[in-house]
């Protein structure tokens, strides 16, 4: 089977080597036909998809060839785009062999034949029968609707008994006995709450992401959940956008590696396993590029950027077999993503070969009215369905408008059929028709094993941003366990709910070990504590608490207004009594995640004042930042010797932070998103495109002459990040050798010929310090000359390396077509002859350099 795959890949990559659709048309078509034929006779794909590929290639061949002789290049490209199953960016792929299998599709077809139009439309409806995760919740009679076959999926139903209740109605009372899918936002753990996804990305460890999603899948499935709304793989380059917390950060390469790992853990490459769940990759597409970082805002970008940056992690997740994709709320270049045939059909289905279904985000179909692409519900529902949106979520518009439009001939029934097929495929592949119920087990509780797992994960996510010397100490951290008195200060120090993070699923604050609880255990009476202030100031803090605790807002208005000045003075007095102060600050968990855009990227309320007051005592200060996004830490960097970014670490928050503070664990997290010097730099990311006037020289002061001025820079702040992508300190030091390349020159045709490695970059990394440590070795490249400008640096490889003191390890980074290619002006993924600069090091500032050439 592998041999067959390789032959096909080879043939296909021949096709990729074409410079334009109009070129090499003859050999292209022959190759494509042959490759499809070989795929067809290989038994690992269904006849259906084989035939579809063959059809596509013939269609492509006939249509494109006919036009290539006479028509302009543009017209040819337009036809290429219009051809079913043909994408200029890579041709058709197959994403999940289970969904494409003959067995599954035969069962789908047999069932489809028995379904009435209303039953079909019922499969396309999803509702929340639990809590709401968006506005305008439906509150309908779900029991009756399920029995009538009017529901395909329910979300937010908690616990095996509750899911079984609805499942029993679906399987035993509905006419065709079609089981329901139960969806849930399992974002960073189900019951066991792990660190937020952004923190997991900071581990730069796909194994960790897989561990989290595997554990979450087991817990979710035990509750009858078969569809998890995760992973969220939106590229997030602007921390004003609160959903950066759910993302893998700014980089398409890191994001893609993590995306694959999340999907693998959920689905195990086999949806039919009793503890697999269908992964719903979200939010398709480019939701993270919301203009000005404002939630739900439009996105507008070139197609090259869309494909090369924003779509990459979704593609990786789909390639890894993700069964479901969730559409996003935003528009992309003027077309709402939830009704965009270009992304939902052309790219997702035709280019990537996605056979699963697209689920609307909460109410996204009805929101198309607000986008102004239709004057009534029927129109926007039709546009969404025809664009490739299969399942309507919560707003009931498919249910209320599609049947009539099919009956009147406005929508062909085949369009509905196709959407139903996609939904049923996932249900069959999950084995739900054979095993619809969740065995009811004992209620969940946190076992020591689960705690150990959560701690291991959290340990890996801590990013030590700064660790300066302080009064004779070479570095302030790690703290000696013999330290006499420690003052723990700040509103995050004993904030259990705040440790769980933005989307804690069924996480319970009672399971959280806070930093205060852990330090009390470690230090006993040597620990002093003062909260210092709330997370917000004045009346806002009372209101925040009433929101978090679900108590009355009116009651909050009556409560005495907190006196921050007084409590801050008390906290400073507490710090005075100690040898060292640990200050734990952040932002409210209610201010992280969906609908939490901010223009000030700093500590909320009076926390900055609290920090300044503690620093003013002259005591050594360690700042622990517990946030869901990169903050502007400019003041802290200038005044606080040690800063640890601990994110929202989950149930083992206290032990994990303490592990790093006391040096039981070497901090090995590295930033997945740049931390700015000022909010005005956003969106800030390392992989910038070059400019005609690149900034150089010392940008730390204002320009003194026009040579210093007339370049791409800010006058009042440096261009660079305060802490760049990939940054993170360890308690030891690492030395990087000059990287080597296995070959100085590679012929272009070899790179284009297949997707295998053409150059290997070698690197020796040495631990030059006196303690063991883990480094994340990172490889960056720059394509120096291309027909389309390329970023000044791009991550193309990384690996975590654990080194004993004095130890050296050799690491290698393979580079091939996947790493070296880019999208050209014709939207072809290609490589051209050029020189690649290569850097290896411990962050995006890596300075050990080499290069190699790709020659004509
Ligand atoms: C969010 C999604 C989530 C969905 C279902 C929406 O508000 O944008 O990320 O999966 O609700 O809960």
- Which pLDDT does position 755 carry in this prediction? 82
- Which pLDDT does position 820 carry in this prediction? 98
Look at ligand 1, atom 10, and give the residue with the nearest C-alpha. Answer: 229
Q: Taking the CA of residue 640 as centre, how many other CA atoms within 13 Å lie in the half-sphere pointing to its CB?
A: 29
Residue 15 near residue 32, CB atoms below 8 Å: yes
pLDDT band at residue 92 under the 50/70/90 scheme:
low
Question: What does the block give as tokens for 449?
Answer: 């094993």
| Nearest atom in ligand 1 to 232's CA | 9
Residue 584 near residue 603, CB atoms below 8 Å: no
- Which pLDDT does position 138 carry in this prediction? 85
What span, in angstroms and rounded, lies between the C-alpha atoms of 493 and 516? 6
Question: What does the block give as tokens for 717?
Answer: 């702040």
Question: What does the block give as tokens for 645?
Answer: 């970014």
User: Dihedral, CA atoms, 481, 482, 487, 492, nearest 10 degrees?
Assistant: 0
Beta strand extents in 261-340 (DSSP E only): 278-284, 324-327, 331-332, 335-336
CA angle 190, 193, 194 (to 5 degrees): 115
pLDDT band at residue 815 under the 50/70/90 scheme:
very high
Of 76-90, 297-311, 463-477, which range is least confident? 76-90
What span, in angstroms and rounded, lies between the C-alpha atoms of 238 and 601? 10
Cα 67 to its chain centre, rounded Å, is 41
H helix runs in 586-696, sequence order: 607-616, 634-639, 653-661
Which residue matches tokens 């989307």?
503
User: In Å, how far are 53, 125, 320, 554, 776 from 437, measured between CA atoms?
Assistant: 37, 20, 27, 44, 43
Q: Is residue 401 pLDDT above 90, yes or no?
A: yes
Ligand 1 centroid vs 95 CA: distance in angstroms? 24
pLDDT band at residue 91 under the 50/70/90 scheme:
low
| Nearest atom in ligand 1 to 594's CA | 8
Question: Is 540 tagged catalytic?
Answer: no
What span, in angstroms and rounded, lies between the C-alpha atoms of 392 and 369? 14
| Nearest atom in ligand 1 to 393's CA | 5
| Ligand 1 site, residue 594, Cβ cutoff 6 A | yes
716-745 confidence digits (pLDDT tens):
999 999 999 999 999 999 999 999 999 999
What span, in angstroms and rounded, lies between the C-alpha atoms of 312 and 387? 21
| Ligand 1 site, residue 133, Cβ cutoff 6 A | yes
Number of other residues whose CB lies within 10 A of the CB of residue 461:
31
614 SS3 class: helix
What span, in angstroms and rounded, lies between the C-alpha atoms of 175 and 195? 44
Average pLDDT over residues 472-486: 91
Helix orientation angle between 252-267 and 206-222, rounded to the nearest 10 degrees: 40
Q: Which residues contact 691 (CB under 8 A, 6 or more apart)?
A: 712
Residue 737 near residue 714, CB atoms below 8 Å: no
Number of other residues whose CB lies within 10 A of the CB of residue 641:
21
Average pLDDT over residues 412-420: 98
Mutate to test the pocket of ligand 1, among 244, 281, 287, 362 (most ligand atoms within 8 A of CB): 362
What span, in angstroms and rounded, lies between the C-alpha atoms of 62 and 702? 61
- Which pLDDT does position 93 carry in this prediction? 79
Q: Is residue 5 pLDDT above 70, yes or no?
A: no
What span, in angstroms and rounded, lies between the C-alpha atoms of 757 and 628? 37
Ligand 1 centroid vs 244 CA: distance in angstroms? 14
Average pLDDT over residues 540-546: 92
Mutate to test the pocket of ligand 1, among 126, 127, 134, 153 (most ligand atoms within 8 A of CB): 134
Average pLDDT over residues 42-65: 38
566-592 confidence digits (pLDDT tens):
999 999 999 999 999 999 999 999 999
What span, in angstroms and rounded, lies between the C-alpha atoms of 604 and 598? 10
| Ligand 1 site, residue 130, Cβ cutoff 6 A | no
User: In Å, how far are 100, 357, 389, 619, 712 from 399, measured between CA atoms?
Assistant: 27, 17, 14, 65, 53
| Ligand 1 site, residue 794, Cβ cutoff 6 A | no
141-161 confidence digits (pLDDT tens):
999 999 999 999 999 999 999
| Ligand 1 site, residue 367, Cβ cutoff 6 A | no
- 459 burial (CB, 10 Å; 0-12 / 13-18 / 19+) is buried
Task: Output 324 or 91, whichever has higher pLDDT.
Answer: 324
User: Dihedral, CA atoms, 206, 210, 213, 219, nearest 10 degrees?
Assistant: -150
Pairing outcome for strands 324-327 and 278-284: parallel
662-703 confidence digits (pLDDT tens):
999 999 999 999 999 999 999 999 999 999 999 999 999 999
pLDDT band at residue 778 under the 50/70/90 scheme:
very high
| Ligand 1 site, residue 361, Cβ cutoff 6 A | yes
What span, in angstroms and rounded, lies between the C-alpha atoms of 54 and 39? 9
- Which pLDDT does position 505 carry in this prediction? 82
| Ligand 1 site, residue 188, Cβ cutoff 6 A | no
User: In Å, how far are 521, 526, 703 from 481, measured between CA atoms?
Assistant: 12, 11, 48
Ligand 1 centroid vs 800 CA: distance in angstroms? 33
| Ligand 1 site, residue 359, Cβ cutoff 6 A | no
- Which pLDDT does position 530 carry in this prediction? 98
Q: What does the DSSP assignment read for 773-787?
A: EEEEEEEEEEE-S-S
306 SS3 class: helix
Q: Which residues contact 204 (CB under 8 A, 6 or more apart)?
A: 254, 669, 670, 672, 776, 798, 800
- Which pLDDT does position 379 carry in this prediction? 98
| Nearest atom in ligand 1 to 134's CA | 7
Residue 151 near residue 125, CB atoms below 8 Å: yes
Which residues, in sequence order, are bridge partners of residue 331? 336
- Which pLDDT does position 52 carry in this prediction? 41
Look at ligand 1, atom 8, and give the residue with the nearest C-alpha. Answer: 361
Percent of the chain with pLDDT over 70: 89
Which residue matches tokens 């992280």?
592
9 SS3 class: helix
Ligand 1 centroid vs 362 CA: distance in angstroms? 6
Pairing outcome for strands 580-586 and 745-747: unpaired
Average pLDDT across the chain, whole number: 90
Give the per-residue SS3 of 404-447: HHHHCCCCCHHHHHHHHHHHHHHHHHCCCCCCCCCCCCCCCCCC
pLDDT band at residue 67 under the 50/70/90 scheme:
very low
Residue 639 near residue 438, CB atoms below 8 Å: no
Ligand 1 centroid vs 384 CA: distance in angstroms? 18
| Ligand 1 site, residue 362, Cβ cutoff 6 A | yes
pLDDT band at residue 434 under the 50/70/90 scheme:
very high
Average pLDDT over residues 794-813: 98
Look at ligand 1, atom 12, and give the residue with the nearest C-alpha. Answer: 133
838 SS3 class: strand
137 SS3 class: coil
| Nearest atom in ligand 1 to 184's CA | 12
101-123 confidence digits (pLDDT tens):
999 999 999 999 999 999 999 99
Q: Taking the CA of residue 362 as centre, how many other CA atoms within 13 Å lie in the half-sphere pointing to its CB?
A: 18
Q: What does the DSSP assignment read for 530-558?
A: E--S-SS-THHHHHHHHHHTT--HHHHHH
pTM, full prediction: 0.90
379-398 confidence digits (pLDDT tens):
999 999 999 999 999 999 99
Could you say which DSSP state residue 738 is in?
A: P
Mutate to test the pocket of ligand 1, among 280, 594, 596 (most ligand atoms within 8 A of CB): 594
Ligand 1 centroid vs 794 CA: distance in angstroms? 31
- Which pLDDT does position 36 carry in this prediction? 39
Ligand 1 centroid vs 379 CA: distance in angstroms? 24
Catalytic residue, from 361, 390, 564, 659: name it. Answer: 361
pLDDT band at residue 90 under the 50/70/90 scheme:
very low
What span, in angstroms and rounded, lies between the C-alpha atoms of 178 and 146? 10
Ligand 1 centroid vs 587 CA: distance in angstroms? 22
220-274 confidence digits (pLDDT tens):
999 999 999 999 999 999 999 999 999 999 999 999 999 999 999 999 999 999 9
275-310 confidence digits (pLDDT tens):
999 999 999 999 999 999 999 999 999 999 999 999
What span, in angstroms and rounded, lies between the C-alpha atoms of 194 and 260? 18
What span, in angstroms and rounded, lies between the C-alpha atoms of 279 and 324? 6
pLDDT band at residue 461 under the 50/70/90 scheme:
very high
Ligand 1 centroid vs 449 CA: distance in angstroms? 30
Residue 668 near residue 460, CB atoms below 8 Å: yes
What span, in angstroms and rounded, lies between the C-alpha atoms of 588 and 242? 12
Average pLDDT over residues 404-425: 98
- Which pLDDT does position 364 carry in this prediction? 98
| Nearest atom in ligand 1 to 280's CA | 10
| Ligand 1 site, residue 282, Cβ cutoff 6 A | yes
What span, in angstroms and rounded, lies between the C-alpha atoms of 390 and 227? 15
Average pLDDT over residues 783-789: 98
Cα 3 to its chain centre, rounded Å, is 33
- Which pLDDT does position 41 carry in this prediction? 39
Q: What does the DSSP assignment read for 16-55?
A: HT-SSTTTTHHHHHHHHHHHHHHHHHSTTS-HHHHHHHHH
What span, in angstroms and rounded, lies between the C-alpha atoms of 394 and 387? 19
Q: Is residue 29 pLDDT above 60, yes or no?
A: no
């Amino acid at each position: 089977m592998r041999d067959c795959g390789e032959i096909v890949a080879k043939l296909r990559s021949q096709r990729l080597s074409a410079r334009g659709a109009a070129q090499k048309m003859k050999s292209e078509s022959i190759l494509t036909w042959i490759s499809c034929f070989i795929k067809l006779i290989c038994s690992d794909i269904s006849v259906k998809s084989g035939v579809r590929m063959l059809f596509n290639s013939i269609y492509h061949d006939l249509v494109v060839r006919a036009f290539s002789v006479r028509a302009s290049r543009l017209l040819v490209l337009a036809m290429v785009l219009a051809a079913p199953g043909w994408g200029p960016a890579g041709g058709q792929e197959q994403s999940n062999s289970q969904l494409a299998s003959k067995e599954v599709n035969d069962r789908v077809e047999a069932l489809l034949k028995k379904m009435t139009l209303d039953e079909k439309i019922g499969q396309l409806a999803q509702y929340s029968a639990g809590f709401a995760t968006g506005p305008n919740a439906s509150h309908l009679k779900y029991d009756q609707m399920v029995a009538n076959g009017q529901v395909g999926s329910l979300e937010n139903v908690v616990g095996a008994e509750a899911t079984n209740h609805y499942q029993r109605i679906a399987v035993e009372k509905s006419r065709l006995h079609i089981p329901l899918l139960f969806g849930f936002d399992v974002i960073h753990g189900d019951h066991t709450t792990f660190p937020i996804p952004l923190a997991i990305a900071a581990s730069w460890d796909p194994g960790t992401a897989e561990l989290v999603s595997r554990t979450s899948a087991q817990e979710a499935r035990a509750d009858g959940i078969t569809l998890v709304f995760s992973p969220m793989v939106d590229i997030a380059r602007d921390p004003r956008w609160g959903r950066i917390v759910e993302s893998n950060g700014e980089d398409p390469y890191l994001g893609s590696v993590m995306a694959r790992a999340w999907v693998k853990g959920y689905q195990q490459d086999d949806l039919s396993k009793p503890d697999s769940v269908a992964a719903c990759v979200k939010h398709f597409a480019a939701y993270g590029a919301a203009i000005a970082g404002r939630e739900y805002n439009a996105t507008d970008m070139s197609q090259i950027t869309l494909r090369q940056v924003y779509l990459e992690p979704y593609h990786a997740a789909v390639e890894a077999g993700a069964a479901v994709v969730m559409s996003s709320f935003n528009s992309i270049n003027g077309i709402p993503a939830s009704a965009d045939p270009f992304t939902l059909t052309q790219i997702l289905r035709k280019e990537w070969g996605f056979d699963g279904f697209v689920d609307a985000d909460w109410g996204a179909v009805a929101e198309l009215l607000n986008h102004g692409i239709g004057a009534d519900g029927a129109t926007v529902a039709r546009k969404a369905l025809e664009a490739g949106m299969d399942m309507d979520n919560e707003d009931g518009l498919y249910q209320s408008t599609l049947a009539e439009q099919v009956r009147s001939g406005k929508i062909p029934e085949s369009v509905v059929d196709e959407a139903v097929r996609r939904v049923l495929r996932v249900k069959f592949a999950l084995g739900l028709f054979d095993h619809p119920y969740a065995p009811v087990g004992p209620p969940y509780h946190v076992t020591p094993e689960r705690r150990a797992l959560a701690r291991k994960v959290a340990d890996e996510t801590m990013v030590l941003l700064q660790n300066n010397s302080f009064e004779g100490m070479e570095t302030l951290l790690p703290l000696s366990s013999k330290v006499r008195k420690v003052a723990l200060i700040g509103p995050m120090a004993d904030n259990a709910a705040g440790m769980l993070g933005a989307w804690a699923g069924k996480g319970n604050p009672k399971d959280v070990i806070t930093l205060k609880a852990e330090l009390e255990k470690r230090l006993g009476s040597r620990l002093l504590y003062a909260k210092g202030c709330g997370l917000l100031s004045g009346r806002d803090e009372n209101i925040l608490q009433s929101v978090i605790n679900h108590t009355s807002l009116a009651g909050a208005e009556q409560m005495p207004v907190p006196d921050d000045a007084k409590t801050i003075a008390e906290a400073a007095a507490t710090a005075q009594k100690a040898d060292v102060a640990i200050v734990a600050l952040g932002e409210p968990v209610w201010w992280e995640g969906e609908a939490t855009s901010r223009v000030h990227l700093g500590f909320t309320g009076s926390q900055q004042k609290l920090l300044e007051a503690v620093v003013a005592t002259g005591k050594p200060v360690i700042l622990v930042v517990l946030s869901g996004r990169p903050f502007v830490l400019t003041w802290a960097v200038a005044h606080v010797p040690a800063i640890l970014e601990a994110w929202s670490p989950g149930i083992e928050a206290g032990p994990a932070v303490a592990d790093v503070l006391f040096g039981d664990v070497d901090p090995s997290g590295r930033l997945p998103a740049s931390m700015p010097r000022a909010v005005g730099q956003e969106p800030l990311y390392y992989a910038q495109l070059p400019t005609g006037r690149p900034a150089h020289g010392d940008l730390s002061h204002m320009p003194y002459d026009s040579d210093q001025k007339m370049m791409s820079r800010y006058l009042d702040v440096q261009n660079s990040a305060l802490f760049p992508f990939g940054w993170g300190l360890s308690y030891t030091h690492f030395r990087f050798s000059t990287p080597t390349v296995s070959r100085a020159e590679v012929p272009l045709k070899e790179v284009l010929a297949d997707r295998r490695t053409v150059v290997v970059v070698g690197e020796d990394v040495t631990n030059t310090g006196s303690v063991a440590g883990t480094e994340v070795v990172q490889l960056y490249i720059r394509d120096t000359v291309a027909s389309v400008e390329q970023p000044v640096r791009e991550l193309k490889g990384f690996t975590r390396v654990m080194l004993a003191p004095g130890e050296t390890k050799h690491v290698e980074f393979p580079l091939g077509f996947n790493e070296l290619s880019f999208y050209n002006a014709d939207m072809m993924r290609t490589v051209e002859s050029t020189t690649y600069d290569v850097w290896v090091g411990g962050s995006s500032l890596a300075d050990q350099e080499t290069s190699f050439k790709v020659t004509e």
